[in-house]
Amino acid sequence: MAITETKYFGKISFEPDSELEFPCGLPGFDSRKRFVAVTIPANEPLTYLQSLEAPDLCFITMPLLAVDPDYRLKVSTEDLSLLGLPPASQPRIGRDVLCLTVLSMREEGPTANLLAPIVVNLKTRRGVQAIAPEGGYSHQHELMPVAVAACA
């Protein structure tokens, strides 16, 4: 069992083989390559992607199919290579890869980044943030409708 100190969860323990490796880091955090997925049963389906290199770096995510059950994952040849998957394949969510969407908390309500999901090979534990420009997906997909103030 390994232990790491985090800003948001204090000390957490994890199995070393549960570590996720992002060979290129994540956009904007290129030097951060090692993460662990933290789940808290009371907060499911949220998953916290905690950096093992920066205690204050943690992304709030959730399973992509929980947001859009009909999502069509397209992974580039370059990303397939980074994931350690065959070049002509299209991985299946839940069978070949874990697919998470990063959440953003905004005044108007939470949004999910469907344009660039986090994709992790379930066998190798290697991950990428795979940009899917041709799918018509948004980086600010609304999770809940905005509350409308009552008119007087």
Domain ranges in the chain are 2-142
- Owner of token pair 């904007």: 28
CA distances from 131 to 78, 111, 113, 114, 115 (A): 11, 17, 10, 9, 6
Comparing 54-63, 74-83, 139-148, the range with the smallest average pLDDT is 139-148
- Does residue 151 carry a pLDDT above 50? no
- Which class in CATH covers the domain with range 2-142? mainly beta
The string of pLDDT tens digits covering residues 15-61 is 999 999 999 999 999 999 999 999 999 999 999 999 999 999 999 99
pLDDT (0 to 100) of residue 108: 84
